[in-house]
Structures are given as structure tokens and as C-alpha cells.
């Protein structure tokens, strides 16, 4: 349920309400506004409203949350959540692009990728050190060495680092390097992993599962928020359908729905959604038009030599073209293509 409180009351009155809710088995998540405090009370199995709650000092309103996702939904927080880290700013009209190779392959490859995506206008460098591969015989990533290269690339370019974690026991180690931790599509319902990243206080990029409904995706995000980490970015990366010309089918309606149902920023990964580099630009532009808050794009200095996902990777030249077109489209849509700094005079 949601308990709306008047912030003119003191800390004691707020604590009394929180204590009362705790007695009934609720955990409170506080969202502070200018004049009001919204307590998102979740987790009580019985879902009872404590008698007398509505008349406690400072309580303005008590409302049941109707949706199964509680903290993730717009019922508890109407305004967009803006996730900001390093040069990245997503949500509330800010649109950021994160790009880079599927996997960190070598320092040379990563440096070349980082320089290319930075000069195109990306604010985040995405590259995998731990790769969740379908085949156990495929390249699994450079692991700790890959993390070390990512740290060096951040030093060289100033880009924020986005990288995936696959195993709950690696979360602390990956979080040490990452500015944003990625949970891949295959792990969207790895609940111990979700709970573990929920303990962090840094942003988590949660990809939609291969065959997950919008509700399952939002419930996966709820796991992370319920642990106290409210900085979650939802990422649509295509779903399984009968179509074989594309790797997956980009579900743009899910972007619109997720934005409507949730206050969290929603981004799109048109690279994994399509599997083909020539489909990436049109669908990236369509994603911005559909209301996405950002993009994750695979870029490789030499796609033909990539150890994974070469066919869907843009060359630096194609990435530049895409960024130019996004820059032209953003103002038409009332969005700001975020480059890490406010332009002077704006
Ligand atoms: C990736 O981002 O490189 C990846 C493995 O993507 P997904 O989890 O969407 O398949
Ligand atoms: Mn990939």
C-alpha cells in the first residue's frame, strides 16, 4: 500500500507510522517529495491495512497498490526516475547512448572501440568481461583481465562503464569496476542474482528475458527495488518469435507500456533485437520515437573479426551516422541527447 504523509510533521510521527506498518509485516520504502513523503509499504503476506493508520498524525492518505509490481510502478511514484552516473543521464527527457563491443577481447580492441564511441557521442562504454554464451565452447570472456581493461578504458576516455555480471558470487567484484551493472536476458529471472544486485547502491541495467512478458520483466525489477536499490534501467532487447530473418523481434510496444506502467528509465538494445547491423539504425531511431530513454549499441572497430556478435555490430562510421541522426531527431521529440555536459546557454 501507499501511505502519503505530510512532511510538516516531525520525524517521530513518521517513525510511528513506519513502526505500525512494520508490526503488520510491511517493509517501508520512503520516497521524499517537496511537501509529501510517500511510504511504499510492501511485503506483508496478508496485506491488511492496520486499523487506525489513516488517523495517525501526518497521514494524508492510504491507498492500496493495485498492480503486482509495487515499487516499480507509477502508482507509488508518478514522476520519471532519472538515473545518473558518470557522464550518463537517463530518464526525465534525458537520452543517453551506451555503446561498445559485445565482449572485451584485448586492450587494443577495447581502446579503439572506446575512442570510436566517445567521438560519436556515446556517454557509456559497454563491453562484456563475463559472457553468458549459449555454447559452452564459445568465447566466455576475459573475466578479471577484461575488468582491468575496462577500468583502463574509463581512465583513457572518461566514459562510464557498463558490464554484465553472470554469477551472484561475482557481483562485488564486477561492481567494483562497473558504473552500471548489466543483468543479461538469460538471467532476468535469476532471483538470487537479482537480490544480490539489489544490495548494491549503483545502477543496474536489467534486460528483458528472451520470452518474458512485460509483467515478468517488471516483477524482476521489483526484486531489485525491494532490496533497496532504486536505480534500475529497463532494457528491451527483443523477444523470441517465429521470425527467422531477425535474431529476435524488437517489441516497441513493450517500451511504451513499460514507460506507462513504470517510472524507471527504459532503453533499447537494437543490436541483440535484430542481429543485423543494417537494422540497427532504423530501429534505434524508432526506439527514440517510441519514448525510450536511451540505447545500448554494439560497435566494433572491425566487426568481421569480432569474437562475438560481429554481424550485428556497427562500424565506427555507421555509429557516427546513427548519432548524427539521433541528434537531429531528439529536439523534435522534446528529448535531450545527453553528451555528459550541459551545453553553454542551455
Ligand atoms: C549482451 O548484451 O551482450 C548480451 C549477451 O545480451 P542479451 O542478454 O540481451 O542476450
Ligand atoms: Mn552481444
Q: Which tens digit of pLDDT belongs to each residue from 267-292?
A: 999 999 999 999 999 999 999 999 99
Q: Which tens digit of pLDDT belongs to each residue from 76-93?
A: 999 999 999 999 999 999
CB atoms within 10 A of CB 227: 16
Q: Which atom of ligand 1 lies nearest, measured to the CA of 186?
A: 8
Q: How many whole angstroms from 302 Cα to the centroid of ligand 2?
A: 15
* CB of residue 208 inside a 6 A radius of ligand 1: no
Using a 10 angstrom Cβ sphere, with 0-12 exposed, 13-18 middle and 19 or more buried, the burial of residue 254 is: buried
Which cell goes with 177?
569496476
Check pLDDT > 80 for residue 314: yes
Ranges of each domain in the chain? 2-63, 83-337
Residues 42, 196: Cα–Cα separation, whole Å: 19
pLDDT of 144 reads 97
Using a 10 angstrom Cβ sphere, with 0-12 exposed, 13-18 middle and 19 or more buried, the burial of residue 94 is: buried
Q: How many whole angstroms from 31 Cα to the centroid of ligand 2?
A: 36
Q: 9 — phi, psi (to 5°)? A: -80, 165
Residue of 106, 128, 125, 129 whose CA lies nearest to 117: 125
pLDDT of 346 reads 46
Residues 290, 298: Cα–Cα separation, whole Å: 20
Q: Which tens digit of pLDDT belongs to each residue from 28-76?
A: 999 998 899 999 999 888 889 999 999 999 999 999 999 999 999 999 9
Task: Answer whether 2-63 and 83-337 agree in fold.
Answer: no
Q: What is the pTM of this model?
A: 0.96
Q: How many whole angstroms from 80 Cα to the centroid of ligand 2?
A: 28
73 to 79, 169, 206, 267: CA distances (angstroms): 10, 29, 16, 17
Report how far Cα 98 is from the mean position of its chain's Cα atoms: 11
**Do 313 and 304 form a contact (C-beta atoms < 8 A)?**
no
pLDDT of 47 reads 84
Q: How many whole angstroms from 41 Cα to the centroid of ligand 1?
A: 34
Report how far Cα 121 is from the mean position of its chain's Cα atoms: 19
Residues 184, 100: Cα–Cα separation, whole Å: 16
* CB of residue 300 inside a 6 A radius of ligand 1: no
* CB of residue 100 inside a 6 A radius of ligand 1: no
Q: What is the mean pLDDT of residues 302-322?
A: 98
Atom 9 of ligand 1 has which residue's CA nearest to it? 185
Q: Which atom of ligand 1 lies nearest, measured to the CA of 269?
A: 9
Report how far Cα 147 is from the mean position of its chain's Cα atoms: 20
Report how far Cα 291 is from the mean position of its chain's Cα atoms: 15
* CB of residue 247 inside a 6 A radius of ligand 1: no
Q: Which run of H or of E encompasses 297? A: strand 294-298
Q: Which tens digit of pLDDT belongs to each residue from 332-341?
A: 999 999 998 8
The mean predicted confidence, pLDDT, of the chain is 96
Helix axes 107-120, 316-332, angle to 10 degrees: 30
pLDDT of 45 reads 85
Query: Which ligand lies nearest the alpha carbon of 163?
Result: 1
pLDDT of 344 reads 58
Decide which of 3.40.50.300, 3.30.70.1140, 3.40.50.1000, 3.40.1790.10 is the CATH code for 2-63. 3.30.70.1140
**CATH code of the domain occupying 83-337:** 3.20.20.70
Q: How many whole angstroms from 269 Cα to the centroid of ligand 1?
A: 9
Check pLDDT > 60 for residue 323: yes
Min mean pLDDT across 33-37, 141-145, 310-314 is at 33-37
Residues 214, 203: Cα–Cα separation, whole Å: 20
pLDDT of 46 reads 85
pLDDT of 342 reads 80
Query: Which ligand lies nearest the alpha carbon of 239?
Result: 1
The residues near 155 (Cβ < 8 Å, ≥ 6 apart) are none
* CB of residue 88 inside a 6 A radius of ligand 1: no
Q: Which tens digit of pLDDT belongs to each residue from 210-227?
A: 999 999 999 999 999 999
* CB of residue 59 inside a 6 A radius of ligand 1: no
Query: Which ligand lies nearest the alpha carbon of 311?
Result: 2
Q: Which atom of ligand 1 lies nearest, measured to the CA of 128?
A: 3
Helices (H), the chain: 11-23, 107-120, 144-157, 171-177, 191-198, 214-226, 252-261, 270-274, 277-290, 316-332
Amino acid at each position: 500500500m501507499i501511505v502519503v504523509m505530510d512532511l510538516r510533521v516531525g520525524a517521530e510521527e513518521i517513525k510511528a507510522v513506519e513502526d505500525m506498518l512494520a508490526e503488520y509485516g510491511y517493509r517501508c520504502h520512503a520516497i521524499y517529495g517537496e511537501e509529501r513523503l510517500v511510504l511504499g509499504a510492501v511485503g506483508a503476506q496478508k496485506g491488511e491495512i492496520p486499523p487506525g493508520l489513516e488517523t495517525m498524525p501526518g497521514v494524508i492518505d492510504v491507498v492500496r497498490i493495485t498492480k503486482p509490481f509495487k515499487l516499480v510502478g507509477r502508482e507509488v511514484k508518478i514522476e520519471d526516475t532519472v538515473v545518473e552516473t558518470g557522464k550518463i543521464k537517463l530518464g526525465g527527457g534525458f537520452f543517453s547512448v551506451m555503446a561498445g563491443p559485445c565482449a572485451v577481447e584485448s586492450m587494443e580492441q577495447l581502446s579503439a572501440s572506446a575512442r570510436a564511441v566517445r567521438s560519436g557521442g556515446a556517454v557509456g562504454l559497454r563491453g562484456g568481461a563475463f559472457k553468458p554464451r549459449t555454447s559452452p565452447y564459445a568465447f566466455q570472456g576475459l573475466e578479471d583481465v577484461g575488468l582491468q581493461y575496462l577500468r583502463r578504458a574509463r581512465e583513457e576516455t572518461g566514459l562510464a562503464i557498463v558490464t554484465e555480471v553472470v554469477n551472484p558470487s561475482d557481483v562485488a567484484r564486477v561492481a567494483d569496476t562497473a558504473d552500471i551493472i548489466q543483468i543479461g536476458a538469460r538471467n532476468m529471472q535469476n532471483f538470487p542474482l537479482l537480490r544480490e544486485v539489489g544490495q548494491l547502491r549503483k545502477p543496474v541495467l536489467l534486460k528483458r528475458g528472451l520470452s518474458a512478458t512485460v509483467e515478468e520483466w517488471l516483477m524482476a525489477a521489483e526484486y531489485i527495488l525491494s532490496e533497496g536499490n532504486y536505480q534500475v534501467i529497463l532494457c528491451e532487447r527483443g523477444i523470441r518469435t517465429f521470425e527467422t530473418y531477425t535474431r529476435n523481434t524488437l517489441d516497441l510496444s513493450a517500451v511504451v507500456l513499460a514507460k506507462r506502467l513504470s517510472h524507471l528509465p527504459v532503453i533499447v538494445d537494437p543490436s541483440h533485437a535484430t542481429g543485423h547491423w543494417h537494422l540497427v539504425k532504423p530501429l534505434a531511431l524508432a526506439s527514440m520515437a517510441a519514448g525510450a530513454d536511451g540505447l545500448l549499441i554494439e560497435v566494433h572497430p572491425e566487426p568481421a573479426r569480432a569474437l562475438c556478435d560481429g554481424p550485428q555490430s556497427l562500424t565506427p562510421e555507421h555509429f557516427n551516422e546513427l548519432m548524427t541522426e539521433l541528434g537531429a531527431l531528439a529536439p523534435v521529440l522534446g528529448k535531450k541527447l545527453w553528451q555528459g555536459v550541459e551545453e553553454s546557454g542551455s
